[in-house]
Structure 1
Amino acid sequence: MLLTSQFKSLFLHGATAPFRLSAAAAPPPPTTVPVIKAMRTLQGKVVCATNDKTVAVEVTRLAPHPKYKRRVRKKKKYQAHDPLNQFQVGDVVQLEKGRPVSKNKTFWAVPVPARPSSPPQGLGIPLESELSQV
């Protein structure tokens, strides 16, 4: 298959061929890429709830000290959107990243999901103190 000078110039400048070579050479259909939710949620304590639909949440993290290499607590305050004004000072909330609501608000305050409480796990063998009571 000979290419004319017009097609050669197109290929040199990065254009693709205007024709399909064969069905076997077709690229496979694109697969769906899973969404990676890295660093889209934070957890902190509400320190200010006086503004309407906004809460200030303080997030604490541990980071190594640059000189002494010991882990120290670092705190940062984030403004979060609270559309129902449901959070009070002292509540623990989860911050989810979203589109910007205003200049400083890009997080939404969400209640922390409750952990399932499991009954205390024993060994399955009664203790001597339990046997003497029966």
Structure 2
Amino acid sequence: MEQNTESAAIVRANRKTRVGVVTSNKMQKSITISIDRKVKHPKYGKFMHKTTKYMAHDEKNECNIGDLVKIMETRPLSKNKSWRLVEIIERAK
């Protein structure tokens, strides 16, 4: 029994986290986060900007557009939403 709880705690601790900017908060208890990253083109070698959008669960509706937030992977909450808000790192100015 003890071994099962230890392994469950280890698996739970290895969830993915991302840091991004809130681009939409028009939904109830949901936000859209954009994460910008630089990717090298496979053939030409030029670095390009790629943007990935995630939908995340915001239980208290506390995020505003432009906030820098940290999100963590969780069980699927809806068709497109499998991330949740962990903390607001920096408020929008």
**Alpha-carbon distance change, 113 to 55 in structure 1, aligned in 2, over 3 angstroms:** closer
The aligned amino acid for 2:60 is L
Structure 1 match to 2:23: 47
TM-score (norm 1): 0.55
- Give the aligned CA root-mean-square deviation in angstroms: 2.1
Alignment of 1:48-127 (within 5 A): 48-113=24-89
Structure with the larger strand share = 2
In structure 1, the gaps of 5 or more residues are 1-29, 115-134
Structure 2 residue 14 is matched with structure 1 residue 37: yes
Q: What letter is aligned with 1:94?
A: K
Query: Helix, strand or coil for the counterpart of 2:69?
Result: strand
Deviation string 1:75-130 (CA, Å, 9 cap, x unpaired) is 0111110010000000011110000110100000222458xxxxxxxxxxxxxxxx
CA distance, structure 2, for counterparts of residue 107 and residue 50 of structure 1: 17
The answer to whether the 8 Å contact 2:68/2:89 transfers is no
Normalising by structure 2, we get a TM-score of 0.78
* Structure with higher RCO (Cα < 8 A, 6+ apart): 2
Q: Given residue 72 of structure 1, which amino acid in structure 2 is its aligned partner?
A: M
Deviations 1:63-84, CA, capped at 9 Å, x for gaps: 1112211221100111110010
User: Per the alignment, do residues 96 and 55 of structure 1 end up closer, same or farther by CA in structure 2, a change over 3 Å counting?
Assistant: same
Identity %: 33
Which structure 2 segments of 5+ residues have no match? Answer: none
